[in-house]
Every structure is written in structure tokens, then in C-alpha cells.
Amino acid sequence: MAETDAALRTLAHNVRTARARADLSLDELGRRAKVSKGALVGLEKAQGNPNFATLVRLADTLGVSVSALLDGPAEGRVRVASADAVMPLWAGERGSEARLMLTTSGPAPVEVWRWRLEPGEEYASHPHQAGVVETVSVTSGRMALVVDGTEHPVEAGQTATFDGDAPHTYRGAGDETCHLIMTVHLPPGPAPTP
């Protein structure tokens, strides 16, 4: 329970800081991210339990990575992340999951995700902000990548990339579990204030 409380406090602090940096009121952030003002007030007070879609919409609206909202201060020059130490940010009913492993630093960060898609299970994503590019590399199994209504099969050993500002869906295909690494390349964000 203490870890959850600490994570909520970190999230609350990071959302407040990013909102102030973007010079957005709670009303304006809520309108742009399609999140109620009440939910935002609770979030900034470290209350509630925002879902993955809400975190993605907030990050997109604030021009930051999802992990920029979740991470505490950097602990050193090298970060090593173990999949079993990272909680899934999305879990499907059939056992599929997505884990945000880490986000690189710098003016144009890159998120690195590990996904497991069970056959027939899918995750539909809303369009991201302009300039976001996603890349999926299937390490085992098969998936169907649907971008702007067009389905693209991607098999083990193949990599696909696309502009993330269109509706897109990841779906497990075939008879076995699909494992993939996804990277989300974010456009340069606002310069930090001194």
C-alpha cells in the first residue's frame, strides 16, 4: 500500500509540475485531455486511480511521456529495468499486458514498452499528438497492427513503424502469444524552465 501511495504522490507532483510548465488551468487541461476537472483535482491531490488511457491523454496533452508523469527523480547515469519489477499499465481479460519499461531522457524522449498479446485480444489506442512515431518489433508470435482502419500483419522478426497521430490497434493474431517491443518516439517537448 505504501508503494501505491508513493506512486500516487509522485504522479500528482509530476502532473501539477507539467501543467504549470504548460501554463494550463485545470479546466483547460481537462478540456484538452477529455478528463473531468474533478478527476484532475483528485489526481493532483494524490487521490483516485487513473487508468492507462487517462495517463496517455494527459501525457499527450502536456507534451510529456507517460513515464515523465510516473517516474520519480533520476537515480543515476545508467538505468536498468527488469520486466518483473515493472507493473503493467494495461492488462487484458485474456492475459495480455503492456509494461512501460523506461523512457529515455533528452529533448525528444523515447518510451520503451514490452507487450504480450494473447490470440484475439486487442488494445485500441486513441490518436496521439502530432509528431509521435511508434515502432513495433515482434519477437515471437504474430500480431495485427491496425492503423487508420487498415490492417497490417506483423510476424516474429518483423518491425513496423507508423505515425501515432492516427487511430491504431494492436491485436494478437494466430494461435500463440505474441511478444513485442514497442517504442514511442515523442516530439521535442517544451524547454524546461530554469
| Interatomic CA distance for residues 110 and 102, integer angstroms | 8
Amino acid letter, residue 40: L
Question: How much is the pLDDT for 21?
Answer: 81
Question: How much is the pLDDT for 66?
Answer: 78
Q: Which of 190, 137, 131 is nearest to 164 (CA)?
A: 131
pLDDT tens for the chain, 194 residues long, are 455 666 777 778 778 878 888 888 888 888 888 888 888 888 888 787 777 778 878 888 887 777 777 776 655 667 677 777 778 889 999 999 999 888 887 778 889 999 999 999 999 998 988 999 999 999 999 999 999 999 999 999 999 999 999 999 999 999 999 999 999 998 876 544 43
Question: What is the value of pTM for the model shown?
Answer: 0.68
Tell me the longest C-alpha to C-alpha distance in the chain. 53
C-alpha grid cell, residue 117: 498479446
Contact 136, 116 (CB under 8 A): no
Contact 152, 127 (CB under 8 A): no
Neighbour count for residue 93 (Cβ, 10 Å): 7
CB neighbour list of residue 134: distance below 8 Å, 6 or more residues apart: 128, 161, 162, 164, 168, 182, 183, 184, 185
Contact 177, 116 (CB under 8 A): yes
Place of cell 481479460: 93
| Interatomic CA distance for residues 48 and 27, integer angstroms | 18
